[in-house]
Each structure stands twice: as structure tokens, then as C-alpha cells.
Structure 1
Amino acid sequence: MTQIPSLNTHKIAADLLVDRFLNHLQILLDETGKEKFLLAISGGPDSMALLTLFKSVQLSNVGEFVIGHVNHHLRSDSNKDQEFVQVVGKEWHVPVFIRHLEPRSNEKNESTEAWARENRYRFLKTMAYESGCNWIVTGHHGNDQLETVLMNLAHHTGVIGLGGMNTKHGKILRPLLPFSKHDLNGFISRYSIPFVEDATNNDISIPRNFIRNQVIGSWEKQYPDLISAVNETVSHFSEWNNALFFFVDRIIDNNVYYLSKGKIEISKSSITNLPTIVQAMVFQTLTQSRGQWRRHDYTILKQFIKSDKTGTTLQQKKGWELLNNRKRWILRKQEKRSKNKLEIKPGDIVEFGNYVYGMNLLKKPESFTANRNTEILDWDKIKNRRLFFRYWCTGDKFQPLGLVGHQKVSDFLINNKIDRFSKDDQVILTADDDIIWVCGMRIDESVKVTPRTKKTVELQRFS
């Protein structure tokens, strides 16, 4: 293991790069009070430069900071990186938090890089919460910004992709973006800052490494001011993006309705006449996926909107699903439905699906309630039967109260113009496998209260 030298922070603090970093960090933090930071430290040169800078600056609103390290277990020597970071934390008196990724858990059809990035940020957020940190700070620098922009161009992300990474996004800070890799390497060399090398960074079969080693390296030699020029250009695109999203946010504020259980509704008429790119930006914003769309995503959405076929759905980023429902678009987060059923007895309060249900015997027989979430049933018809909640399934039938003959639950829901998402979530109550209540909709004719009813039971559904 590399011996970790102590830092001469007084000498380092006099460096011009530290002064530039301090000024930039102060602008990012604005007038905030004393903050606590989780520094994302891999052990590589960029993150070690970041850690050294934080050790050396004196700023009123920079309070405590801790190290967050994610061991991806994608390389045979990843444990050595972890050990290095732990030793650095011990020698430099900075608390270290560690999390581990499990490569075998990557079951999705996505690149290893995308999977690692998503889970790395997820763990960083977890560590920030556990350590009481206000901010997550990464070591992305100007060369990383150029790599990102070029990768976005290759992925057809359009104008939004040209905006690159933000120096401040939510609770994530990237204070090294104004600095080039050359700047940071010089800083590391001047003060003999220790770091570990990731050999896979030289593997040009990885697209980002190819851009870094085969494109940017040669380009920067020809144009030494390349990184600063790119940073300036990216800031212009970011301003354009922010301006566009400002108007998108106004559209959302005036036309979007947030329904129960996480559903989002927007009328078609409110966005039909907008350019397709603006419609896409509306859905990007609602699904928290700004900057993550590729050309394919735009093309599919455009075709989906143009087809305008009621009842069809489109998968969106981050597990969202978009439904074409007559005069409205409806978004919801996809969730796995339970295949189990849940029993209920008098006096019980149980939770199933998106609702809580209660069941109580009534002292005096009652026959009617105008509340669709409350039903009164003839207790004698079901008292010797087991009652279970479950989701409806294909082939289910019941006899809706007031109608002659049985009807398929699917037809009943369609006739009542229930949208597909609500239809998917529809719960029924059965008595020994016979449907007695399509919850929130209608009871079965067989359990209705009649003049001969002696005892009744009340069923309630709560949001």
C-alpha cells in the first residue's frame, strides 16, 4: 500500500488554483450557512485533487466533510482502491463511508457504465443522508465535460445534451468543471498528492475512453484553450436549456394535475399545438429525466403522439408509463402488482393495493349509502364465507347491482370509461371466490340489502 504523506495545507492554500477553486465554490454555495459535504472519492487523481482542495480551503460556509467511496467490484483490484481510500481517510483525519455494488444484480438490458453510474449516485445519496451531509461533491472536471458533450452528440441527445453536466444540480456539486485535466495534474504533481491508477481508463474499446484518449488528447494539443472554450460554449447551451425549461415549467404549472397514488394528468389540448420537442420536454420534466433522452426516445414519443390511439401505453424513463386516454395523457410510475390475496373479517382494517379497507357489523340494519367508497351488504349472505381482496383478472364475472345477468368485470370497467391505469389497479372482494364487490364501483346483486335482511355489514375504502 502506498505510504500516505501528510499535507502541508498552509503551503497548498497559497496556490493560485486553490484561490480559483475557492472563488468558484463560494459562488456555487452563494449565501448558505455552514454546510456539510460528502466527497465522492474513488482514489483516482481527480478525486484526490478534490479532497486535497477541501482540506486546504478556508471558507465560512464550508463546515465538515466526509469521504464517500463506492466499490463497484468491476475490477479485480477494486478492493485495493477501497483500502487506499480508507488509509487516506485515516491519515488525513476524514471519516470514510463505504458502499459496495453487486455486478450480478445488473439484470437490466443496459450498459455496465450506465448501471454503475445510476447505482453509484444512489449509494452516494444514501451515504450523504446517513452522514448528515447537505451536498454530494464529485471530481468531474472540464475534460469530463467535453467527453460528456461528445458522448451526448453520439447518442443524438439534441440541444439538451449540448448543455453537458451542471456545476450545481439539486444537491450535487461539481466544483472542478472550470478546471482542465492539465490544471489538476499540475496541482497533483506540485504537491505529490497520492492517488491510484485505474488501468481500464486506457481501454479504448470503452467509448468514453476512446473519446478521452484518441480524440480529446490530440485535439487539446492543437488547441490548448480547448477546455475553457468548451466550458464557455456549454454554459451558453445551458442558458438556452434553462430558458426553454422555464417556459416548460409554466406550461406544467398551468395544465398538469397531480392525481392520487402518484398519477399525473395533462389534457391533450393544452400541448397539442406545441412543437414536438417542447411536448417531449414536458414529459421529460414530469418523469424527472431531463437530459437522459436519446434520439430514439424522441422518435418513439413523436410516433406515439401522432398515432393518438386510445388505450395504448408507452414506456418512459425511470419506470414511468404514459397512457393515451381519450382527451388526456396520464403518467404513472410502474409498480409490480401483488399476486396474493388478503382476507378481511368484521372489525378488521387492512391495506391492499392503493387503498385501506375497513369492515364493521352494523347494530341497526341499513340499506343504502351515496358514498361510492362505502357499501352496505346483507351479512347473512356472506357470514359463513371467507372474504378476500385481490386484483381482478381476465374472465372474472359478477352481476352488477340492478342489472339482469352476469357481466365480465373487464366490460363493466370499459362501460364505465375507466382508464387503463385505473383498470389495472382495480381491486375486487370475493366471498368463496364469488365476486361481491368491484371496490369503489358496484356490489353484486346477490349481497344487496332487502326487506328480509336482518343484519348488515359496512365495507369502507379509504385513500
Structure 2
Amino acid sequence: MINAVHKHIKSNLPFLMKSKLLLAVSGGLDSMVLLAIMQQLKLNISVAHCNFSLRGEESDADEEFVKHQANSLKIACFSKRFDTEKYAHTTKKSIQVAARELRYQWFQELALKHGYDFVLTAHHLDDQVETFLINFTRGTGLEGLTGINEVNGIVVRPLLPYSREELTAYAIHNAISWREDSSNSSDKYLRNRVRHQVIPILKELNPSFLNAFKQTISHLREAENAIDKISSFYFDKAIKNTENQLIINILELKKIPNYSFYLYQWLKKYGFKAWNDIAELVEAQSGKQIFSSTHVLLKNRTELIVARIEPSSSETYAINTIDSSVNFPLKLVLCNQSNIPTLDKNTIFVNADVLQFPLTIRKWEEGDYFYPSGMQGKKKVSKYFKDEKLSLFEKQSIWILESNSQIVWIIGHRADARFMSKNETINTIKITYNNEKSI
């Protein structure tokens, strides 16, 4: 098996050969085989062990076992104890999800602190099958059926093509010691029920089930790659990606066959799950919204707009002097200016003689009015927004700069004529807005 793994790494994961690697080692069969093979291949490895404090003395014994094995191989070993139950209770997550989050957060920290290029885990083909079946029973898209990725960021799974049976045979043949996790024999967890009750039946129905499964996964990934290319093609036709919004042109969207499928492809990374509601949003009245935990999708006339959910704010922020800058809630820079070049929407030039400090930054409010530059008379801010056809998102994100309770600038949009410098103005202040937000 070691020759097969070596060949697989050289062909498909060659970057591992000269990288600094951190191995996730629980002490179980899979991870001890991973440790043995990587050590025999003479790769640059260290070991990380998580003690989740879920099985009392057994968890502690696993930790000591891994430390002993790493020490005997003269390999650096990191270990950490977690209060997994407390974390699960605090975050309102299952024990398995909590343990997974704690594990990968710590691996990331170790990699950053000690300069590891990749973290290796011992996931194998049977894990791939279990993940496929669990996702299938819960309902999933194509990405859920393609199972576990061999490379996901800095996490690499070099044993993914090999079965648990192959790993067991290798461990026995090479007299590799391992620890048995008593929780693996319990059917309390869904994954264990799939492992103990479902997969044996599938293997009984088809003795070559695992090989057939590998072929199926390969076909699904080819289909996924093809769909990604088509999705990207339609994305370019129907979508405009701005600094802080994703804007979908509904008229262009409707030209796409089975457009709801592509909506799913485009929006899934923003955490949306109410796919029936999203499909209906295309024909809904303007102003209707759908929320994920992090983003909101808005129907705005002939567009669907995706934006990050911003916390509401009634706070005000002060700018006390010229030659000042602020970085929150947005980046604004003030400085003296001797000339007035061509204007743009993110820069204004104001008359220092009529400006009164401190200046205030705040959210706009109903009833606000200003004297728009380039126009005669005053105008309500809400009417200005309507005339500019600003979406609900755009209105919610707008800040006002004011002096002595008078609007100086609808920041990033329109200055107030009362404060603007003229070419003959002696004392001019340049105010620049830098929008660095993204979706």
C-alpha cells in the first residue's frame, strides 16, 4: 500500500513532498496508518492530537499513546484538551460539529504559528461513502454528493482513495499499534448507524460497491466541473459584481434555461437555504427580502441584490479638526487643498470658512433635507434617493456628513451647495471617502 500512496502523492499531491506537514493523529487505526506511511516516506511531519475530554480516562489514554508514539519516532507532537461539551452548549451545536470546529480552528492556529504548509487528516474511502449517504438522506446539491474534497485549503487527505479494509490490512501486516475509540461502536451517532447498518448491506448487494462508488464520485465531479463552467458563463451575462453587492439582472436571468438552478449555484456560498422562496422572489413585488445568517437578498425592481447584513447604527461619530481622518464607520480623510481638480463622487471640496467643527457622521433620517450641488433650492434626502433609484440596501448603507446640524455631504453621492468651494475660495478643505467594503 505504501507504494500506491507514494505514487498517488507524486501524481496528484506533489506539493506535499517538500512541504512542512502537520498530521492530525487521534490514535485510531486510520491516523496511525497515516502517521506510519508519511514517516516511512520521509516527509517533513509533526503530529497534532486533540483531547476532546468526552470519554474520561480513555481520552487521556489516547493522548498519552499518541505522545508516546510521536516521541518514539522523534517527531514533534502538539496536544490540546478541549471542553467540548461546554463549547457545544454555548454555541448550541451538536457534539460532533463542536469537536470538528474546535479541531480545525486549532489546526489553523498551529499552522499559522509554526509555519506548517498543510494539515493532513486520515479520511479514507469509507468516510467518503458515509458522507455521501448522510448528505443524500438530508437532501443536498451536487457538491454534497461529491463528498469530501481531497484538498480543502490547507487541509489535505492523502488516504481518501483507500478503503478502511486496505488500511486495516496494512496496519496488521506492519504491526502498527492503534487505540480503539469506544464511541465508534455506538449507534448513537448518525454516521455510526450508516457505517454499521447501511454500508454492510450495500457491500453485500455488490461486493465491488466501493470501486463502483469511486467511479460514481469521479463522474459526479466531472459533471460538477462542467456545471461550474456553464454557471460561470451565465454569471458573466446576468450579474454585475460591485464593491459591496451582487446584482442579478432579472431580465437576463429569465433568458437562462432552468435559471433557478443557476441561482442556487450563485447564491449558495452566501448561506441561503430557502430555495423555493428565492425562485419565487424573481416574480415577487419589489422590496421583498430573503435572509441568510450573513446576507440578505432583495427584489429591487428588475434586479435581485445580494448584500451583507450590516448592523443597524444610531451612533454618531465626530471629526474635530482639519487634517483628520476616521476609519470607522467608514474611511474619511480631510486635508487642506490649494486647488480644485476634477470632482468625483468620492471626493468633495468644501469652504473652510463656512465649515464648523466638530463635524458629525451619522446615518440619514426621514425628514433630512439638503441643497444638492448643481441644483436650485433644497430637497428632501428621501426624495433624492427615490430620484436616484437607490435600492433599499443602498439607502440603509448611506452616511451623512454634517456641520452645525446642516448636511455637508451625502457621503459618496452628492455634496451640499452651501458648503462647496469655488475656484476663488481661499481656504479649501478636501474630503475623501474610501469604500473598502465587500460582500
Higher deviation after alignment, 189-198 or 332-341: 332-341
**Correspondence for 1:183:** 166
Match of 1:139 among 109, 116, 122: 122
Residue 29 (structure 2) pairs with residue 48 (structure 1) = no
Match of 1:398 in 2: 369
Cα contact 1:400–1:442 (8 A) shared by 2: no
Provide closer, same or farther for how the CA distance between residues 265 and 108 of structure 1 changes in structure 2, counting only shifts above 3 A. farther
Alignment correspondent of 1:372: 345
One-letter code of the match for 1:267?
N
Note if contact 1:426-1:439 (Cα within 8 Å) is conserved in structure 2. Answer: yes
Q: How many Å apart are 1:102 and its aligned residue?
A: 6.0
Once the 2 structures are TM-superposed, how far is the Cα of residue 232 of structure 1 from its aligned partner? 2.2
- State the distance in 2 between where 1:459 and 1:274 align: 48
Greater shift in the superposed pair: 41-50 or 197-206:
197-206
In structure 2, relative to structure 1, the CA distance for the partners of 1:75 and 1:434 (3 Å cut) is: farther
SS at match of 2:327: strand
For 1:181 and 1:92, the matched residues in 2 are separated by: 24
Distance 2:419 2:83 in 1: 53
CA shift for structure 1 position 42: 2.4
The percentage of aligned residue pairs carrying the same residue is 25
SS in 1 for 2:323: coil
**1:456/1:238 CA distance change after superposition, 3 Å:** closer
- Of 38, 41, 47, the residue aligned with 1:57 is 41
State how far apart, in whole Å, the 2-side matches of 1:427 and 1:100 are: 46
Given residue 133 of structure 2, which amino acid in structure 1 is its aligned partner?
L
Residue in structure 2 matched with residue 21 of structure 1 by the alignment: 5
Structure 1's 116 and 248: CA in aligned 2 closer, same or farther, altered over 3 A? farther
Deviation of residue 144 (structure 1)? 0.9
Aligned partner of 1:347 among 300, 323, 340: 323
In structure 2, C-alpha distance between the alignment counterparts of 1:218 and 1:306, rounded to whole Å: 46
Q: 2:224 aligns with which of 211, 230, 241?
A: 241
8 Å contact 1:45–1:195 — kept in the other structure?
yes
Q: Judging changes above 3 Å, is the alpha-carbon distance between structure 1 residues 101 and 372 closer, same or farther for their aligned structure 2 residues? A: farther
Instruction: For 1:402-413, list aligned pairs within 5 A.
Output: 402=375, 404=377, 407=380, 409-413=381-385
Deviation for aligned residue 1:50: 1.0
The separation in 2 between residues aligned to 1:138 and 1:108, in whole angstroms, is 25
Name which of 286, 291, 303 aligns with 1:328.
303
**Aligned residues between the structures:** 427
Q: Which runs of structure 2 are paired with 1:415-434 in the superposition (5 Å)?
A: 415-431=387-403, 434=406
Structure 2 CA distance for partners of 1:159 and 1:374, relative to 1, 3 Å = closer
Q: Quote the Cα distance in structure 2 between the aligned partners of 1:64 and 1:231.
A: 30
CA contact (8 A) 2:10 2:17 kept: no
Q: What TM-score do you get using the length of structure 2 for normalisation?
A: 0.82
Distance, in Å, in 2 between the alignment partners of 1:297 and 1:264 is 18
- TM-score, normalised by the number of residues in structure 1: 0.78
Is 1:87 aligned to residue 68 of structure 2? yes
Q: What letter corresponds to residue 48 of structure 2 in structure 1?
A: G
SS at match of 2:12: helix
Q: In the TM superposition, what is the alpha-carbon distance from 1:53 to its structure 2 partner? A: 1.2
Amino acid at match of 1:442: R
Aligned to 1:10: none
On the 8 A contact 2:39/2:45 being kept in 1, the answer is no
Inter-partner Cα distance in structure 2 for 1:433 and 1:41? 63
What amino acid sits opposite 1:314 in the alignment?
Answer: I
C-alpha separation between the residues in 2 aligned to 1:422 and 1:357?
18
Contact 2:346 2:433 in 1 (8 A): yes
Answer with 135-144 or 114-123: which moved more.
114-123
1:181-220 mapped onto 2 (5 Å cutoff):
181-220=164-203
- CA–CA distance in 1 between the matches of 2:144 and 2:65? 35
Q: Give how far 1:158 is off.
A: 4.1
Partner of 1:312: 288
Contact residue 250 and residue 282 of structure 2 kept, 8 A: no
**Contact between 2:87 and 2:98, CA under 8 Å: does it hold in 1?**
no
- Structure 1, unaligned stretches of length 5 or more? 1-16
Q: Does the 8 Å CA contact 1:398/1:436 hold for their aligned counterparts?
A: no
**8 Å contact kept, 1:28–1:168:** no
1-side partners of 2:82 and 2:315: how far apart? 31
- Distance in 2, matches of 1:71 and 1:339, equals 45
CA contact (8 A) 1:343 1:389 kept: yes
Aligned: 1:124 with 2:124: no
The residue aligned with 1:11 is none
For residues 173 and 16 of structure 2, the distance between their equivalents in structure 1, rounded to whole angstroms, comes to 32
Which shifted more, 92-101 or 197-206?
92-101
Q: Which range moved further: 47-56 or 322-331?
A: 322-331
Q: Given the superposition, is the C-alpha separation of residues 22 and 297 from structure 1 closer, same or farther in structure 2, using an over 3 Å criterion?
A: farther
2:46 is aligned to 66
Q: Evaluate the alpha carbon distance shift between residue 34 and residue 429 of structure 1 in structure 2; reply closer, same or farther with a 3 A threshold.
A: same
Deviation at 1:252, TM superposition (A): 3.2
**Secondary structure in 2 aligned to 1:371?**
coil
Q: Following the alignment from structure 1 to structure 2, what is the Cα–Cα distance between the partners of residues 336 and 71?
A: 37
CA contact (8 A) 1:314 1:323 kept: yes
Contact 2:146 2:220 in 1 (8 A): yes
Give deviations 1:202-231, integer Å, cap 9, x for gaps. 332322222112222454356443323222
Query: What's the CA shift for 1:186?
Result: 2.6
Whichever residue aligns with residue 346 of structure 1, its letter is I
Post-superposition Cα deviations, 1:419-441, rounded to whole Å, max 9, x if no partner, equal 33332321222335554322122
Q: Distance in 1 between matches of 2:50 and 2:307?
A: 31
* Counterpart-to-counterpart distance in 2, 1:144 and 1:188: 18
Structure 2 unmatched runs, 5+: none
Report the secondary structure of 2:412's partner residue. coil
- With over 3 angstroms needed to count, the CA separation of the structure-2 counterparts of 1:135 and 1:254, relative to structure 1, is farther
